[in-house]
């Protein structure tokens, strides 16, 4: 038993180290450094209805690039967005954070805003309510339930300044998938480009897979040790 404890302890330190690295670099291509300026962002799915989404080297919180989401559907509640989806574990806590930026030359002057959002769906694709489960940010009402980050980037935010925003929520019962979204919500008459960078999400599914693999390996080695 002491051998198993030492093996799992060593595995825990390995996971902590790898987990820290994953969190530091964010989810897949969270810094948009895997792409050239103008290219679609690798690792992300795009919904460009009412806008356009490109990798930009004009502004960056870290590195050379950021993601520029331009909302052109003025007054039509256009919500162009980029997102990534993963399997979810009910009862697990999820965090999505990053930085948003609007240049002084093109600030938000109406009711539009930028946010990060965490959304859960069941196995049938129904979006699940997270009321009472959000510890950082705001629970959005239906039909588009989810945890919205705080603060928003809006007309009251400083321009030419990278603004940190975060949402933290516990996955509800029945959650089969989790989506991490970057949104430019246009509900005014002055479409604005919002830049997103240094996106991180916790937990990263790869971390859980690694933990499970190390625990399984430890159990196998322990059983072989006992048989020897």
| pLDDT by residue, tens only, the chain of 228 residues | 322 222 222 232 222 223 322 223 348 999 999 999 999 999 999 999 889 999 999 999 999 999 999 998 766 778 999 999 999 999 999 999 999 999 999 999 989 999 999 999 999 999 999 999 999 999 999 999 999 999 999 999 999 999 999 999 999 999 999 999 999 999 878 789 999 999 999 874 444 444 444 444 444 454 555 555
Q: CB burial class (10 A; 0-12, 13-18, 19+) of residue 206?
A: middle
Cα 88 to Cα 65: distance, rounded to the nearest angstrom = 29
Q: Which residues of 91-100 are buried (b: 16+ CB within 10 A; e: fewer)?
A: eeebbbbbbb
Residues 53-112 pLDDT 10s: 999 999 999 999 999 999 987 667 789 999 999 999 999 999 999 999 999 999 999 899
Q: CB burial class (10 A; 0-12, 13-18, 19+) of residue 170?
A: middle
Q: Give the pTM.
A: 0.79
75: left (phi over 0), alpha (psi -120 to 50) or beta: left
**Contacting residues for 168 by C-beta, under 8 A, at least 6 apart:** 93, 94, 95, 134, 135, 136, 137, 147
Beta bridge partners of 91: none
Distance (Å) of CA 197 to CA 22, 33, 48, 132, 212: 16, 10, 18, 29, 30
Extended beta strands in the chain, E state:
45-47, 51-56, 66-71, 81-87, 93-101, 113-121, 134-136, 138-140, 146-148, 163-170, 177-185, 193-202
């Amino acid at each position: 038993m002491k051998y198993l404890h030492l093996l799992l302890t060593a595995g825990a330190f390995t996971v902590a180290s790898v987990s820290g690295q994953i969190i530091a670099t964010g989810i897949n291509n969270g810094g948009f450094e895997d792409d050239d300026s103008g290219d679609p962002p690798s690792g992300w799915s795009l919904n460009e209805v009412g806008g356009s989404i490109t990798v930009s080297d004009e502004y960056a919180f870290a590195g050379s690039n950021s993601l520029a989401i331009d909302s052109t559907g003025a007054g039509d509640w256009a919500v162009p967005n980029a997102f990534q989806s993963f399997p979810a574990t009910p009862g697990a806590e999820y965090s999505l954070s990053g930085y948003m930026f609007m240049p002084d030359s093109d600030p938000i002057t109406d009711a539009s805003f930028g946010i990060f959002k965490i959304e859960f769906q069941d196995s049938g694709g129904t979006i699940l309510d997270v009321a009472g489960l959000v510890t950082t940010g705001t629970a959005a009402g239906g039909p588009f339930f989810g945890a919205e980050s705080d603060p928003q980037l809006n007309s009251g935010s400083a321009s030419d300044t990278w603004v940190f925003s975060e949402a933290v929520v516990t996955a509800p019962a029945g959650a089969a998938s989790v989506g991490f979204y970057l949104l430019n919500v246009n509900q005014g008459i002055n479409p604005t480009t919002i830049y997103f960078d240094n996106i991180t999400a916790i937990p990263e599914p790869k971390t859980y897979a690694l933990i499970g693999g190390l625990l399984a390996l430890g159990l196998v080695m322990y059983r072989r040790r006992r048989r020897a």
